[in-house]
């Protein structure tokens, strides 16, 4: 969902590694503390306002790691331009994130014609195991479709429960549907998170749909969970941990003030399946318990600049999140990416944090 140049290195970080490039999951020991559970490794603006394959890089609303220092990032609805994703190189270099765009792939219907911003609002992205396919969610209907990663051609479409369709077909509010998409490391479970509440749940929490299946194969809805965001924030991304654990990215925007971006940890283990609950407004105790990992406003600015008012110049319209490997001190690398909405007053920025998560 939409709301609010060059590489700018983070400063004030003690780096243990001496030069060289390390895989996306490895990093030097972070010292730029944001919270007891998170530290900033750094950020890069290398993707901001560049062109690749004749297209403008921007509107990046999700991020998924592909292994061996690679990643893919999905574009949301920018006018009638082709729906597409970018292949990225993404590594930790000398303790900070280094990112570059390597190519672009247009997403196509089964007949080979291109989806565009008019009928595809790309928000969630999962690079499936094996590297041959991706899953992408669109807020338009909403939908979750599988595409061939090389050709971009649609291969399949996952079933969506009827009440999650945009009104009047269902109870979903336009531009507040499947914003978040995440798969467990083994590919057996997929989570699709609603940015806003269904009309039948309002003013209750959002719903997360769990799908069961396998990477590259069929997925079917198997449960639903209630997730309550902080006031005025939307659920914009999920990252799946083992044993039902989740990281949830919440984001909001206030004109003249800027963005609020928070990451929480939650767990579906033992949680109530609310598939048969008509209204979550009448089930206040059903929401997943969550614990704050980091509020990005507390991170050191580290040399960042903002093109519009922000409570911390480090902040922008962060919409994508991907969980990498471990740092030397046992934390996990957490990558974030911001959606510049193809606008001059926002920045496409990639962040790397070291976070402590419980599994």
Residue 183 belongs to some domain of the structure? yes
Please say whether the beta carbons of 238 and 182 come within 8 A. yes
| Mean pLDDT, residues 5-33 | 41
pLDDT at 284: 85
Band (1; pLDDT cuts 50, 70, 90): low
Residue 211 belongs to some domain of the structure? yes
Residue 113 belongs to some domain of the structure? yes
Residue 90 belongs to some domain of the structure? yes
Residue 67 belongs to some domain of the structure? yes
**Residue range 100-157, pLDDT digits in tens:** 999 999 999 999 999 999 999 999 999 999 999 999 999 999 999 999 999 999 999 9
- Domain limits at 48? 21-355
Residue 7 belongs to some domain of the structure? no
Residue 13 belongs to some domain of the structure? no
Cβ neighbours of residue 345 under 8 Å, at least 6 residues apart? Answer: 4, 307, 308
Query: What is the spatial distance between Cα 105 and Cα 127, in angstroms, rounded to a whole number?
Result: 14
Cβ neighbours of residue 193 under 8 Å, at least 6 residues apart? Answer: 124, 178, 179, 180, 181, 182, 206, 207, 208, 209, 227, 235, 237, 238, 248
Question: What is the CATH number for 107?
Answer: 2.115.10
Residue 143 belongs to some domain of the structure? yes
* Verdict on whether the full-model pTM lies above 0.95: no
Domains in the chain: how many in total?
1
Cβ neighbours of residue 138 under 8 Å, at least 6 residues apart? Answer: 120, 121, 122, 123, 144, 145, 178
């Amino acid at each position: 969902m939409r709301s609010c140049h060059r590489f700018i290195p983070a400063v004030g970080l003690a780096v243990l590694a001496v030069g060289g490039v390390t895989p996306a999951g490895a990093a030097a020991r972070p010292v730029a503390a944001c919270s007891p559970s998170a530290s900033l490794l750094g950020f890069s603006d290398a993707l901001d306002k560049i062109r690749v394959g004749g297209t403008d890089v921007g509107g990046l609303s999700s991020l998924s790691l592909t292994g061996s220092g690679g990643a893919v990032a999905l574009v949301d609805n920018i006018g009638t331009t082709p729906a597409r994703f970018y292949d990225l190189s993404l590594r930790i270099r000398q303790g900070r994130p280094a990112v570059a765009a390597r190519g672009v792939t247009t997403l196509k219907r089964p007949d080979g014609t291109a989806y565009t911003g008019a009928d595809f609002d790309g928000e969630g992205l999962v690079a499936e195991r094996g590297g041959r396919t991706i899953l992408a969610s669109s807020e338009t209907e909403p939908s979750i479709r599988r595409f061939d990663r090389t050709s971009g051609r649609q291969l399949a479409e996952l079933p969506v429960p009827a009440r999650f369709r945009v009104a009047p077909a269902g109870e979903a509010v336009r531009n507040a549907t499947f914003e978040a998409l995440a798969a467990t490391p083994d590919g057996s479970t997929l989570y699709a998170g609603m940015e806003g509440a269904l009309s039948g749940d309002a003013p209750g929490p959002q719903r997360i749909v769990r799908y069961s299946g396998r990477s590259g194969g069929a997925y079917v809805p198997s449960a639903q969970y209630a997730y309550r965001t902080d006031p005025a924030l939307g659920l914009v991304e999920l990252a799946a941990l083992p044993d039902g654990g989740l990281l949830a990215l919440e984001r909001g925007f206030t004109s003249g003030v800027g963005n609020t971006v928070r990451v929480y940890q939650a767990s579906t283990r033992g949680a109530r399946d609310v598939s048969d609950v008509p209204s979550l407004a009448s089930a206040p105790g059903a929401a997943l318990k969550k614990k704050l990992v980091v509020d990005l406003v507390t991170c050191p600015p580290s040399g960042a600049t903002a093109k519009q008012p922000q409570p911390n110049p480090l902040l922008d319209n962060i919409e994508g999140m991907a969980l990498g490997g471990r740092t030397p001190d046992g934390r996990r690398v957490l990558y974030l990416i911001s959606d510049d909405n193809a606008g001059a007053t926002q920045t496409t920025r990639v962040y790397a944090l070291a976070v402590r998560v419980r599994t």
